Amino acid sequence: MSDGDPLLRAEGVTVALGGRIALRDACLSVGAGELVGLIGPNGAGKTTLLRAVLGLTPLSAGRVLVAGRPVSEARRLIGYVPQRHEFAWDFPVDIAGAALSGRTRRIGWLRRPTAGDHAAVDRALELTGLTDLRRRPVGELSGGQRQRVLVARALAAEPRILLLDEPFTGVDVPTQELLNDLFGRLAEDGTALLMTTHDLAAAARTCTRVVLLNRTVVAEGGPELLSDPDRMLRAFGLDRAGAAGSTEAAA
């Protein structure tokens, strides 16, 4: 991998789920220092694409390269922040323990964490503003605190690529501002970030680039793409006549 190559590249990714095509010939790349927003309607394949990048969903066609290597050889370089409902919040663990679980792949099963592992957790908790709460059980946390725990858990793995699945859903404004600032600082430090989000205003403010997805990549470009009505309508499966008709029906 040369210095100019993207850290993450998806080439012609096609995924079939339950006998139907969830993604077809999807291509995108994310370079070091980029915060790329993945935008599209529900069911567009955004989470499926993230899971394909992680190697959790098998590909029907195409490939994913991480730092120029297959995912199976470079999975340690990826941190993943799932949607909040995917984490077992009733599990009896405190914030520090939840963050430490993000290093399981590095520590290995049945091995004790080292001083370096604990130092990585300390840094992750500091970045997410959770240091003073580190011994609080995760079951007692608010929605915004839980979201920060998931981010800390991903950062504890010290990833070069961070995948974020709807990180702003259901969080309060202070948490959103903290996360926006954090993601910006991570990008400045050279992390490659790929984020699915329905918050178009936040994406326009914070993303260096956006990708419009609806089972395949419809368009990509700078944040100004979110102000292009034709491309946005196409990404969300509408045309101008259909959008006008929907508006009239709603009225």
Integer Cα distance of 212 and 232 in angstroms: 8
Over residues 162-185, the pLDDT tens digits come to 999 999 988 899 999 999 999 999
* Average of per-residue pLDDT across 121-143: 95
Task: Fold for 8-84+159-250, please state it.
Answer: Rossmann fold (3.40.50)
Q: Which of 137-141, 170-174, 245-249 has the lowest mean pLDDT?
A: 245-249
> Rounded to the nearest 5°, which phi and psi values hold at 154?
-70, -40
Alpha carbon of 159 to those of 58, 72, 82, 126, 215: distances in Å?
22, 15, 15, 16, 27
Considering the chain, what is the average pLDDT of its residues?
A: 88
Among residues of the chain, what percentage have pLDDT more than 70?
92
Of 184, 174, 227, the C-alpha closest to 206 is 184
In DSSP terms, which residues pair with 194 in a beta bridge? 36, 163
* In the predicted structure, residue 248 carries a pLDDT above the cut 60: no
* In the predicted structure, residue 112 carries a pLDDT above the cut 70: yes
Helix (H), strand (E) at residue 202 = helix 200-206
Residue 1 has a pLDDT of 54
Residue 190 has a pLDDT of 95
Q: Which residues contact 213 (CB under 8 A, 6 or more apart)?
A: 26, 38, 39, 40, 44, 45, 46, 49, 235
pLDDT tier for residue 113 given thresholds of 50, 70 and 90: confident
Helix (H), strand (E) at residue 155 = helix 143-155
Among residues of the chain, what percentage have pLDDT more than 90?
67
* In the predicted structure, residue 242 carries a pLDDT above the cut 50: no
* In the predicted structure, residue 105 carries a pLDDT above the cut 90: no
Integer Cα distance of 164 and 166 in angstroms: 6
Q: To 5 degrees, how large is the angle CA 99–CA 151–CA 186?
A: 120
Integer Cα distance of 211 and 39 in angstroms: 6
Integer Cα distance of 207 and 44 in angstroms: 20
Integer Cα distance of 98 and 91 in angstroms: 9
Residue 13 has a pLDDT of 96
Integer Cα distance of 7 and 179 in angstroms: 22
Residue with tokens 């956006």: 210
Residue 86 has a pLDDT of 87
Q: Which of 23-32, 89-98, 109-118, 121-130 has the lowest mean pLDDT?
A: 109-118
**In contact, 8 and 192? CB cutoff 8 Å:** yes
Best-predicted range by mean pLDDT among 199-203, 234-238, 242-246? Answer: 199-203
* Average of per-residue pLDDT across 184-193: 95
* In the predicted structure, residue 201 carries a pLDDT above the cut 80: yes
**In contact, 190 and 162? CB cutoff 8 Å:** no
* In the predicted structure, residue 240 carries a pLDDT above the cut 70: no
**Global model pTM greater than 0.85:** yes
Q: Which of the two residues, 248 and 44, has the higher pLDDT score?
A: 44
Over residues 60-87, the pLDDT tens digits come to 999 999 999 999 899 999 999 999 888 8
Integer Cα distance of 27 and 213 in angstroms: 10
pLDDT tier for residue 124 given thresholds of 50, 70 and 90: very high
Q: Where do the structural domains in the chain lie, given as residue ranges?
A: 8-84+159-250
DSSP string, 87-147: S-TTSS-BHHHHHHGGGHHHH-TT----HHHHHHHHHHHHHTT-GGGTTSBGGG--HHHHH
Q: Which of the two residues, 68 and 240, has the higher pLDDT score?
A: 68
